[in-house]
Amino acid sequence: MMSSDDNNRILIIGDMPKMQGDRRTMVPQHDSEFETGGHTAHKPLEALLVERRANLDARSDGFRLHTAPPGADATEMVQQAVAADDPYAVAFVGVRTRVGAESVETIERMWEADPALQIVVCAEYEDQVWAEWAEQLGHTDRLLLLRKPFDQAEAWQIALSLTHKWNLGRQASVKLEEMHAIAKATNEQLHEQIKKRSEVEEELRYLAYHDQVTGLPNRAYLLDRIEQCIARSLRVPGYRYAVLYLDLDNFKLVNDSMGHDRGDKLLQDVAQRLRACMRTIDSVARVEEDIAARVGGDEFIVLLEGLRDLKDSARVAQRFLEVLNRPFRLDGREITVCASIGIATSERPYVRSQEVLRDADTAMYRAKSLGKGRYAIFDPEMHDEAKRRLEIESKLRDAVGREQFQLAYQPIVDVRTSELVGFEALFRCNLPGIESTPQEIINIAEETGLIIQMGRWVFRRACKDFRTWLDKFPHAKDLRISINLSRRELVDDDLIESVRTTLQEASVPVGQVCVEITESGIIENGERAMVRLRQLRELGVQLHMDDFGTGYSSLACLHAYPLDVVKIDRAFTATMTKDTRYIAVVKAIVTLCRTLGMRVTVEGIETPEQLELVDSLGCDSAQGFLFARAMSAESVEDLLESTPDRLMAA
């Protein structure tokens, strides 16, 4: 049974009048007429196909029949049907001769127009066989042979079967096209998924071996490359490599004062300079390959592979220092961040990458201890220093927890009158079982962040002792107490509240408390330092710039800060009597400070000649061994008790 969507179009081709005599005897007579290729034909083969079957709806198995004469007309009708997307399912071709050339040509042309068309050859002669036609047209299931005499049931079954077969084929073709489209879409989706997965895997591989902030290789990538260098050095005699461990000096202060976004921008600028510098390494060293990596925080590592001469590693390090020491611009301001570099080379027989990094790191800390902004090459003695540093850090943490510190106080004297005008509180800490200088301890405390807790203790203790002296000695009522603030403390968010609370609890005259901040600590922290200075000034304390001349030494910057006193570093004092150029510098400082309403204190006075010189230059006060060494709080009380006039003998 055909559905309304099935193709039931049949084309009947041939000389119908010639053949209809036999056909008419096979079917009942009908009065209906059928579509032809331009004429009307009377009930021949068509009648066999439209004969109504008993008890069946006339439309249930009906066909749409068209007739055409043989030749070009038939071919044209097939072409038009295909073009209209309404093709014929079957063509019945009537032939009067045996495998005639005209019939074969007609069939071939129809197949050219519609390869899916099924042909039923209706033969005039009973002895014709299918093989004769197959020999001409090929062995195909699209070709059938119907021989005289024609049977109604046979014709009807052939038409029904072939149209059903055509529709099944069309349905299969449509289904295959759908399946092909689904398969194509699925393949495209799968391809896209594979592509995306590949991209994700590539990104993950990149992230696994690269730093997200700078885009440089990371520690994992670098360790793998160092392992390769170690293996090659063990395998190839004369193969040399070097690892340069770079640490940005004072980066944390920039990061804390300007924010992490600006800190990341600075790291990106540093990475860019490293890349640019590495492209010009050939001018100072012969290297097969070089790699820069960021291994965390403000630490970078450069691996030099295939060095011709290990001494070249020092030349490369010096080039990096020169490049990184140039100011960076952040938010329209110039920021100077120098670097300390430690170098470890294949001169030592390393077997693990971690050993190379450890020694380069150790050398880097040696460079920092020597004054920063320089490089140091590892030697075995540095291991002992590294262990010592770790021991100091461990004992210092314990001392911080127990507040096992002391303060020493160095007198500050009026240059003209030799009158005692105040004391500077100096930090002291005796760590059990290890010898260390106060500056060494302070440097480690700065690096570890312990300086915050230590600084608060110093401020509380100095104010407490000061209050005690004021209560005990009336003639000490106008003395000043100077307390140092480190660079880390200057950018601490809790600094102002901590100072305010301490001043209130100690009940000291705020105007006689002097906060000393180093020149580099002020300059390096820029705008944030300015905010802190203003906040301290609002509390009423005096502000002193300490160690002037050891850092930026910029006279032009003095007017920008709300300072009361500038303290000239002892390095100037020791040099003035030997080099008259330093005298001119100190005189310029004093002149500028006078203009700005600031006083000048000179550190490191050890001889009467130095005292006489700074007096002649117009300095206000001085401190140094010439007057007294730093002393305990108890010794201060003894001094005040023995000098009611507060005159200090030079």
15 and 162 within one domain = yes
Of 344, 379, 414, which residue sits at a domain end?
A: 379
Q: What is the pLDDT of residues 192-212, one digit of tens each?
A: 999 999 999 988 888 888 888
Host domain of residue 529: 392-642
CA angle 386/389/390 to nearest 5° reads: 90
Type of residue numbered 293: A
With respect to residue 345, please indicate whether it lies within any of the assigned structural domains: yes
Residue 28: give its domain's CATH number: 3.40.50.2300
Token pair in block for residue 355: 């050993």
Judged against a pLDDT cut of 90, whether residue 59 lies above it is answered with no
Pull the structure tokens for residue 371.
């004054």
Residue 278 sits in the same domain as residue 131: no
Q: How far apart are CA 399 and CA 391, in angstroms?
A: 12
CA atoms within 13 A on the CB side of 8: 16
Considering the domain architecture, whether residues 487 and 634 belong to the same structural domain is answered as yes
Beta strands of 309-449 (E only): which ranges? 328-330, 333-335, 339-345, 375-377, 406-414, 420-428
* Residues 513 and 627 grouped into a single domain: yes
553: left (phi over 0), alpha (psi -120 to 50) or beta: left
| Residue 648 belongs to some domain of the structure | no
- Tokens 């220092």 locate to 321
Cβ neighbour number for residue 164 with a 10 Å cutoff: 16
Res 3: pLDDT: 58
Q: Is residue 498 part of a domain?
A: yes
Bridge-based pairing of strands 118-123 and 241-248 is unpaired
| Omega prior to 149 cis, within 30 of 0 | yes
| DSSP conformation class of 245 | E
Phi/psi for 444 (5° steps) reads -65, -40
Residue bearing tokens 């002649």: 616
Q: Is the domain of 453 the same as that of 601?
A: yes
Is 407 part of any domain? yes
User: What CATH number did the domain enclosing 509 receive?
Assistant: 3.20.20.450
* Position 180 in a domain: no
User: Which residues neighbour 127 within 8 Å (Cβ) at sequence distance 6 or greater?
Assistant: none
Residue 384 lies in a domain: no
**Residue 79 and residue 15 in one domain:** yes
Give which of 535, 466, 469 is closest to 497, Cα–Cα: 535
Residues 67 and 108 placed together within one structural domain of the fold: yes
Residue 163 in contact with residue 92, Cβ under 8 Å? no
Helix (H, G, I), strand (E, B) or coil at 514: strand
Q: What is the DSSP string of 412-437?
A: EEETTT-BEEEEEEEEE---TT----
pLDDT (average), residues 342-360: 92
| pLDDT tens digit sequence for 378-390 | 988 887 877 888 8
What average pLDDT does the segment 547-561 reach?
Answer: 70
Of 15, 141, 11, 142, nearest in space to 80 by CA: 11
Q: Is the pLDDT of residue 215 over 60?
A: yes
Q: Select from 111, 145, 174 the last residue of a domain.
A: 174
The verdict on residue 387 lying in a domain is: no
Strand residue runs (E) in 21-89: 64-68
The total number of structural domains in the chain stands at: 3
Euclidean distance between CA atoms 401 and 485, whole angstroms: 20
> Do 448 and 586 belong together in one domain?
yes
Confirm if 503 and 510 have CB atoms less than 8 A apart: yes
Q: Indicate if 632 and 485 belong to the same structural domain.
A: yes
Alpha helices in 54-151 (DSSP H): 72-83, 101-113, 130-137
Residue spans of alpha helices (H) in 473-525 = 487-490, 495-506, 519-524
Strand 565-568 to 339-345 pairing: unpaired
| Residue 410: pLDDT band with limits 50, 70, 90 | very high
Residue 371 sits in a domain whose CATH number is 3.30.70.270
Helix, coil or strand: residue 530: helix
Per the document, the length of the chain is 650
Instruction: Report which DSSP code applies to 148.
Output: S
CA angle at 623 for the pair 622 and 628, rounded to the nearest 5°: 140
Let me know whether 409 and 278 are in one domain: no
Residue 376, C-beta contacts closer than 8 angstroms, at least 6 positions apart: 340, 341, 342, 343, 363, 364, 366, 367, 370, 382
Q: What's the pLDDT tens digit per position in 261-286?
A: 888 999 999 999 998 888 887 666 67
Whole-model pTM: value is: 0.58
Write phi, then psi, for 548 (nearest 5 degrees).
-65, 130
Question: Is pLDDT at 33 greater than 60 in this prediction?
Answer: no
Say yes or no: 447 and 357 in one domain: no
Q: Render pLDDT for 453-504 as a digit per residue (tens, 0 to 9).
A: 999 999 999 999 999 999 999 999 999 999 999 988 988 889 999 999 999 9
- What pLDDT is recorded for position 572? 84
Residue 197 lies inside a defined structural domain of this protein? no
What value does the mean pLDDT take over residues 21-27? 35
Q: Which tokens hold the place of 377? A: 């090459």
Find the helix packing angle between 101-113 and 72-83, rounded to 10°: 10
Q: Pull the structure tokens for residue 337.
A: 């961040």
Question: Crossing angle for the helix pair 152-209 and 219-235, nearest 10 degrees?
Answer: 80
Same domain, 340 and 283: yes
Which H or E run contains 455?
helix 451-472
User: Helix (H, G, I), strand (E, B), or coil: what is residue 410?
Assistant: strand
